[in-house]
Amino acid sequence: MKRNKLFTYLRVLRVNQWIKNLVVFIAIIFSGQLFNLDLLVKTFQGFFIFCLLSSTSYVLNDIIDYPFDKKHAFKKNRPIAAGEISLPEASFILFVSTLVSLILALFFSLPFFFLSLFFILLHFLYSLFLKKHPVIDIFTISLSFSIRAYAGVIITGYHIPIWMMLTVFFMSLFMATVKRHAELVSHGREARASLYRYNEHFLDFLTYSAATSTIMSYSFYTYFEKLPPTKSIFGEYFSANFPDLEARKLLMITIPLVVYGITRYAQMLYEKYEGERPEKLITTDIPLVITILLWGAILISLIYVI
């Protein structure tokens, strides 16, 4: 019984969506400091704090949407909507998770605390007001991912280039737009308040725009930015035999993978109307998983091996 209750608490905290907070690791990966143990431990700490912050926003959102979630196709199975956790119990979890996450952020560092405070206030505003307004709702989601990326900047001290920050923003905008499109097609405008001001043609436009902007931003990043200076495994060999290697802009070879990944994600929307649960799609669709792993392997090799 206790084990079932613990599982219910983990569900209300939406631990399965903590994968979104991996954005925090962008700074340490692209800075060439991935194997700096001190920074790596701090990044994991920051990742965990943002997981708690995210869970706080999910609990608040489920409390507010409780009456609507009970009528939704799969949201009705969420612990609060299903009656597995009472509203007073959920409110207590909200209070504790908010308090613990902010205390941990304060002990981490003052700048990290202020960023965490801004993050949680943004999500509170989103749950209470902003999600009811079209365009503003998806831009708020994109901003929250940019905040996660900037948390990595505070942790590592590495300045993420503007083109990478724009890539994060537009990629999350693309995924949020795909989610709205899937919700509209699958459940109609009753699924959420902002959908009354959306239609398929407008969401198609936003999807194309966000996808194009993501590809352009990432392409500019790979062209204009140099690989970080690292003591790579075969660095001396390649430097001696290929002195112009740095000028070859090797990161650009990952562009086709990014284009395919975005195309595949869009395909899942227009063929199967998936995309309503992005965390599930990017971990269960085999072609997409292979693309992400291959992109990551090539990226790590270019930064830390060659």
For 150-166, what is each residue's pLDDT tens digit?
Answer: 999 999 999 899 999 99
Instruction: Assess contact for 44 and 159: CB atoms under 8 A.
Output: no
Q: What is the pLDDT of residue 233?
A: 58
For 204-216, what is each residue's pLDDT tens digit?
Answer: 999 999 999 999 9
Among the listed ranges 49-58, 66-75, 165-174, 204-213, which one has the minimum average pLDDT value?
66-75
Who wins on pLDDT, 242 or 117?
A: 117
Which tokens belong to 270?
Answer: 């227009």
Give CA separation, 129 vs 14, 83, 90, 135, in Å: 22, 25, 20, 13
Cα 271 from Cα 246, distance rounded (Å): 41
Who wins on pLDDT, 34 or 305?
A: 34
Instruction: Assess contact for 221 and 227: CB atoms under 8 A.
Output: no
Instruction: Assess contact for 250 and 227: CB atoms under 8 A.
Output: yes
Instruction: Assess contact for 152 and 43: CB atoms under 8 A.
Output: yes
pTM, two decimals, is 0.89
Q: Is residue 170 classed exposed, middle or buried when 0-12, 13-18 and 19+ CB atoms within 10 A define those classes?
A: buried
Q: What percent of the chain has pLDDT over 70?
A: 88
The total number of residues written for the chain in this structure = 306
Which tokens belong to 153?
Answer: 């900047």
Instruction: Assess contact for 197 and 138: CB atoms under 8 A.
Output: no
pLDDT above 70: residue 274: no
3-state secondary structure of 38: helix
Q: What is the pLDDT of residue 284?
A: 85
Nearest to 230 by CA among 303, 135, 175, 138: 303
Q: Mean pLDDT throughout 287-302? A: 93
Nearest to 235 by CA among 295, 158, 296, 301: 301
For 75-88, what is each residue's pLDDT tens digit?
Answer: 777 788 878 888 88
Nearest to 48 by CA among 7, 15, 78: 15
Q: What is the pLDDT of residue 132?
A: 86
Cα 172 from Cα 281, distance rounded (Å): 14
Among the listed ranges 55-64, 120-129, 223-232, 292-301, which one has the minimum average pLDDT value?
223-232
Q: What is the pLDDT of residue 81?
A: 80
Cα 82 from Cα 240, distance rounded (Å): 64
Amino acid identity, residue 242?
F
Q: What is the pLDDT of residue 1?
A: 47
For 217-257, what is each residue's pLDDT tens digit?
Answer: 999 999 988 777 665 555 555 555 555 555 458 889 999 99
Which tokens belong to 85?
Answer: 């956790």
**Chain position carrying tokens 């990043």:** 221
Q: What is the pLDDT of residue 126?
A: 92
Instruction: Assess contact for 218 and 170: CB atoms under 8 A.
Output: no
Q: What percent of the chain has pLDDT over 90?
A: 53
Q: What is the pLDDT of residue 185?
A: 77
- What is the phi/psi pair of residue 188, to 5°? 80, 180
Exposure string of 245-276, with b = 16+ CB inside 10 Å and e = fewer, is eeeeebbeebbebbbbbbeebbebbeeeebbb
